[in-house]
Amino acid sequence: MLPPSGGIPAGLPWRIGEPMSKELSTLVKTGVVQVGWPRLYEAQSFKADKNGKPDLVQEFDENALLDDADRGHADSINDALKNYDAAEDDPKRPELDMDALEDVSNPAHLKNAMMLLKYVKSHFSTTVAGTPSYSLTVLFDKDDPSQARNIKMLREGQSNAMKNAVAKKTWMKATIQTASRAMQDCDTDVQTYGTGDNAKQMTAAQKYPERANHWYLNAKAKRRPDIYYLSEANKFVKLPDPILMPESDEEREQALQIEELWNKWVYPGQNAMLGVTFKAWTSPAGAGVSCHLEAVFIIGGGVRLGGYSFGEIFGDEDLQAAAEWLKKNAPDFDPETGKVRHAEPAMMDDDEDSEVDETTGEITDPELEPVPEPKPVKKRRTTRAKKQLAPAPEPEPAVPETPDTEDADGDDGEFGEDVIW
């Protein structure tokens, strides 16, 4: 096991490619290899076609379900039973011996586990193939002498896992000849590619010509393996786990820093040492050996595969060409801010003579033409239907007013008769 920090602990053997058996599994520590396409930053899943079948209610580990020595055996059975229970209305659902499923020592335990797996795989759209996993691949050139020991140790580890399965009687001897392998000879090992009517059996070299004369290793893990890299001081340094869903600005900044560190160390073509475990498995569809990725020790110095570096594409002549293009086509662009500069509004100089209206206080610039007052908008008459009005009555002839003779002078007769002045 790699220490959390510091150099190699005293007393720890550092022998390359030493297989260590543990029941059905075999641990192999490789020498330096060139990794293929590592999927270690985030787990990825590859689901098969549904073919009209319902989705799984609960994903489960198929290999652990069929291996009673696996620590996840009981959990895998319980997860598979959730799918079994969800299909209670299916008339084709087989009857299982639940007592045997709960008792590992029961002789019918493995038989019922296989019946459970077979039914779930036939009724639902996908099984463990859809479970997100971490993985990396390695291609070993058969003619590369530096990889001869790695090839030998990995083949021995895979062979030991199959021999352990035969010794424990979970495999028959003949199963070794037909079992699928995680460590494949691309020129001779026949694999099934595709599903259903599109399934074809061929070697990896027939499917992928670039794999001819190579061995191919595909290592996977349900949990992200421990990943360390070699520091400048020759110390083990653990690569921090990615922050996949940052919630705060501080976490987002930290996530970007971690991602940058990962891009620096983890890429196809990088040099690394691997710790992998080979394990035999059995299912109704057949048998095989899986390769579990336990740990990755990144050495560094690898040449990135699948493309060219920035420096291999762009040079000083491109800097000059880019600057000239900007000057000609985007003169207002500011490279420092990444924004377009806007022209400043014209300001009036203090020395310019301006006229001030002493009555209104308005300032008039003699160089500017006066803005004419907007003309009032005339209201447009709208044509409306005139109401039919009744003719106005003829006016009555005016009657001349006669003076009030009762008290024309307003004295109430106090001074005698009223007098008309």
- For 315-372, give the DSSP string: -HHHHHHHHHHHHHH-TTEETTTTEEPPPPPP---TTS--EE-TTT--EE-TTSPPPP
pLDDT in tens, 49-93: 445 677 778 888 887 888 877 788 888 899 999 989 988 888 889
Residue 123: phi and psi, rounded to 5, are: -90, -35
Residue boundaries of the structural domains of the chain: 1-45+132-301, 50-131
Half-sphere exposure of 406 (CA within 13 A, CB side): 0
- What is the arithmetic mean of pLDDT over 112-121? 89
Per-residue pLDDT, 2: 38
Q: Rg of the chain's alpha carbons, rounded to an integer? A: 46
- C-alpha distances in angstroms, 302 versus 6, 27, 290, 369, 391? 23, 25, 27, 73, 109
Per-residue pLDDT, 218: 93
Reduced to 3 states (helix: H, G, I; strand: E, B; else coil), residue 59 is coil
Q: Are 153 and 33 in contact (CB under 8 A)?
A: no
Looking at 47-179, list the stretches that DSSP marks H as alpha helix, in order from N- to C-terminal side. Answer: 62-65, 73-86, 98-102, 109-123, 148-167, 175-178
Distance CA 256, CA 260 (A): 6
% of the chain exceeding 70 in pLDDT: 69
Q: Is 410 left (phi over 0), alpha (psi -120 to 50) or beta?
A: left
Q: How confident is the model at residue 287 (pLDDT cuts 50, 70, 90)?
A: confident
Q: How confident is the model at residue 136 (pLDDT cuts 50, 70, 90)?
A: very high
Distance CA 201, CA 174 (A): 20
The CATH code belonging to domain 1-45+132-301 is 2.40.50.140
pLDDT in tens, 183-239: 999 999 988 776 556 678 899 999 889 899 999 999 999 899 999 999 988 999 999
Q: Is 22 left (phi over 0), alpha (psi -120 to 50) or beta?
A: beta
Reduced to 3 states (helix: H, G, I; strand: E, B; else coil), residue 303 is coil
